[in-house]
Amino acid sequence: MDKRNRKTKQREETFETDIGNDGGYSQVEDAVMKTVMQCFKDELLPYFGIKEKAVAIAPTEAVHLELKKLLQDFNLVMEDGSWSHFEFQSKNEGLEGLKRFRAYEAVTSYQYKVNITTYVLFSGTIRNPMTEFTEGLNTYRIQPIIMTKFNVDELMQKLQEKVDGGERLTKEDLVPLTLCPLMGGGMSQKERIKKALEFSRKAEEDIPKREVEKIESVVYAMAEKFLENIEMDEIRELMKMTRLGQMLRAEGRAEGREEGREEERYQNLISKILRKIQKNCTVSEMADMLEEDEEIVQKIYDIAISQGAECDVELIYQELMQNKNKQKE
C-alpha cells in the first residue's frame, strides 16, 4: 500500500443520494475498516461480543424505488441466514444517522428477503450515542460497539504477559491490534502502533506470513492516519524489521533493477542515435532504422543538437529524465 490507500470503486460508481454519509469515516478510515472486516471477520465478531458466525460477505448496495442507490459500509451473511450490517461512525449523527440506518435495513431486507441487525462501530470521542428512536407505532434500534470501551493498555498488557509466559501469539490475539488507535486507554498513538508492530514480529513464526502482512498493512495504514510525520519516521524504521517491511524492500529492489534496465536501454538508444546524427540521418529515418517511436527519437535528437559538441550519452540521458519528470508534475 503506497500511501496507498484505496477507496472502493463501488462508492465511486453510485449515484448521489439524499440519504448521505456525513457522519462516516474519512476515505482512509473507511477503506481500512472495510478491509479489517473483510479480512478478519472471524476474529473480530467474537471480540465485539457477537456470538453468531459469519459464513459469507453480503452485497452492500440496495436500490430503492426512485432508482437511487443506498450504500452500506459492510454486510455479513450469518449462519442462520440473517445479515449483520456494520456501519462505521467517527462522529455522532444522532437521529439523522439512525433514520439512515433504518432506511438501509428496510430497503435491503425487502430487496434480499433477509432479517438484518445493524451494528454501528463508534470511534473518536463518541461514548453515549443515540441507539434507538420511536416513530409512529415502531421503535428502531441499533447495536452500538463503542471502541473507547475497549482498553488498549489492557490489550497490550495481556499480550505481553502471554509472550513473557512463553506462549505463542495467535491470529486471534493480533487482529484486535488493527483497531488499537480507535480504543480507549492512556497509551499514546505512537506507542500503540509500535507495540502492535512489535507483537506482529513476535508472531511471524507462528502465523501464516500472509496473515501477518495483512495485519501489519492495516496497522501501518492506521499509523499514517493518526501520527505526525516526525513520528512516522520512527514507525518506518520499525517497519523495516517486519515481514511487510521485508516484502516492501524486496519490491523496491525489484523496481530498482527494473529502473537500471530502463536506464541501460535508454543509453544504448542514445548511443545509436548519436551515431546516426553523425551520418546526417533524419529523425524519421532513425526511427525506422532503430524501430523506435519517432517521438522519443525526436526528443533525444533535440537534446543532442542543443548540447552541441559537449553532448555525451550520460548528459543526454540526464536531461531526458529531467524533462520526463517535469511532464509528470
Q: Which of 78-87, 259-268, 271-280 has the lowest mean pLDDT?
A: 259-268
Report the distance separating Cα 189 and Cα 213, nearest Å.
Answer: 21
Q: Each residue of 292-308: pLDDT tens digit?
A: 888 888 988 888 888 87
pTM, full prediction: 0.59
Strand-pairing partners, residue 70, are 62
Cell output for 225: 492516519
> What integer pLDDT is reported at residue 240 of this predicted model?
66
Which residue carries 432506511 as its cell? 103
How far, in Å, CA of 242 to CA of 62, rounded?
40
Rounded to an integer, what distance in angstroms lies between the CA atom of residue 207 and that of residue 209? 6
Q: In this predicted model, what pLDDT tens digit does every residue of 124-161 receive, in sequence order?
A: 778 889 999 999 999 999 999 998 899 999 999 999 99
Burial of 272 (0-12, 13-18, 19+ CB in 10 A): middle
pLDDT of residue 131: 93
- The C-alpha atoms of residue 161 and residue 151 are separated, in whole angstroms, by 16
CA–CA gap between residue 266 and residue 271 (Å, rounded): 9
Confidence tier at 246 by pLDDT (50, 70, 90): low
Residue type, 202: K
Pairing of strands 83-89, 116-122: parallel
3-state secondary structure of 168: coil
33 contacts 24 by C-beta, under 8 angstroms: no
Stronger pLDDT, 71 or 280, i.e. the higher one:
280
**Most confidently predicted of 140-144, 217-221, 278-282, 294-298:** 140-144
Per-residue pLDDT, 117: 93
The Cα 305–Cα 303 span in angstroms is 5
Confidence band for 2, pLDDT divided at 50, 70 and 90: very low
Chain center to CA of 300: 40
Phi, psi of 63 (to 5 degrees): -115, 125
8 Å CB contact between 90 and 222: no
Q: Which amino acid is at 150?
A: F
Alpha helices in the chain (DSSP H): 9-12, 27-47, 95-112, 152-164, 171-174, 189-202, 209-226, 229-239, 243-278, 283-290, 294-307, 313-328
Contact call for residues 38 and 74 (beta carbons, < 8 A) = yes
Asked if 270 contacts 313 with a C-beta cutoff of 8 angstroms, the reply is yes
Return the closest-CA partner of residue 112 out of 60, 37, 66: 60
CA distances from 18 to 53, 71, 96, 100, 237 (A): 34, 12, 12, 10, 45
Q: Is the dihedral of CA 258, 264, 267, 271 positive or negative?
A: negative
| Mean pLDDT taken over the chain | 78
The mean pLDDT of 286-291, rounded to a whole number, is 86
Average pLDDT, stretch 80-87?
90
**pLDDT(6) > 60:** no
pLDDT at 82 over 70: yes
- Neighbouring C-alpha atoms within 13 Å toward the C-beta of 265: 9
* 216-to-18, 173, 277, 310 alpha-carbon distances in Å: 37, 13, 54, 51
What single-letter DSSP state applies at residue 24? B
How many beta carbons lie within 10 A of that of residue 218, not counting itself?
Answer: 22
Query: Is there a contact between 1 and 220 (Cβ–Cβ < 8 Å)?
Result: yes
Residue 98 has pLDDT above 90, yes or no: yes
